[in-house]
Amino acid sequence: MEGGTYGVRAEKVFDDWDGVKEVTSLPDVAPHHNVDKIVSAAGTEQGARIKTAIVCPPTIYGPGHGPDNQRRIQAYELAKATLKREKGFQVEEGQNLWTMVHVQDLSNEYLRLVEEAVKGGGNATWGPEGHYFAENGDFVWGDVAKAIAKDAHKKKLIPTAEIDNVTPEEADKLVSRGSYLWGMNSRARAIRARKLFGWNPTQKPLFDLLPDIVDREARSLGLTTGHAAQATG
């Protein structure tokens, strides 16, 4: 993930196979890297007793299997902010890319790692190089912004399908760290899990679920009602 530019496409793509050493040697200021180092150190020092692996997901979306938290962050907050300001938006030119993964595909990767661990390690990599991405391809944030605005307008939740360009500072006012969530690039390839134990995403891509995300955020803002409320009047 690069810093200092917003809304601009970056070609850099990290991978967890040939490029794993680059990923595990990121500077300490990189998000979560301080915790990653602690986990990796435990696997190095206690490798005979402790199997450690780090799973690093990108933009997460979709409903989970459980009854608790069914809401993710980035696309959901973008839909919510679009509905509240009554117009869609992208950060600067909106050409930046992120990688996506459905939460159920992500949970299946964790499950596969646990299954390998109970075999005594199995086919998985553990310790310093036990770093796993989880992804189902890239998307452009500006395309997500346009799709959300189009769907919200179709449902008569906002007056126009057009979108604005906002500055990073304006994005941060809409939601904490909005410039980071919607304006930067974060691209990765999940090679290790695919190669070693056959993990592959099977759920729908993010764009297929955007109408559901708009519906959810509209209900949370009181702009629409759910089926139960409609049935009871």
d(CA 78, CA 91) in angstroms, rounded, equals 11
Cβ neighbour number for residue 205 with a 10 Å cutoff = 16
Write out the H or E segment, with its range, that includes residue 220. Answer: helix 206-220
pLDDT tens digits along 7-28: 999 999 999 999 999 988 877 7
Could you give the residue ranges of the DSSP H alpha helices within 8-135?
20-24, 33-45, 74-85, 103-117
Confidence at residue 231, expressed as pLDDT on a 0 to 100 scale:
37
Could you give the residue ranges of the DSSP H alpha helices within 46-188?
74-85, 103-117, 141-154, 168-174, 178-183
d(CA 105, CA 137) in angstroms, rounded, equals 13
pLDDT tens digits along 81-127: 999 999 999 999 999 999 999 999 999 999 999 999 999 999 999 99
Confidence at residue 226, expressed as pLDDT on a 0 to 100 scale:
62
Token pair 């959300």 is found at 148
| pLDDT tier, 228 (very low <50, low <70, confident <90, very high otherwise) | very low
Give the residue, 68 or 184, on which the prediction is more confident: 184
pLDDT tens digits along 118-152: 999 999 999 989 999 999 999 999 999 999 999 99
CATH superfamily of the 14-223 domain: NAD(P)-binding Rossmann-like Domain (3.40.50.720)
Q: Give yes or no for a contact between 173 and 107, defined as CB atoms under 8 angstroms apart.
A: no
Q: Give yes or no for a contact between 16 and 132, defined as CB atoms under 8 angstroms apart.
A: yes
pLDDT mean across residues, the chain: 91
Global pTM value: 0.90
Cα–Cα separations (whole angstroms), residue 65 to 30, 101, 121, 212: 31, 15, 26, 16
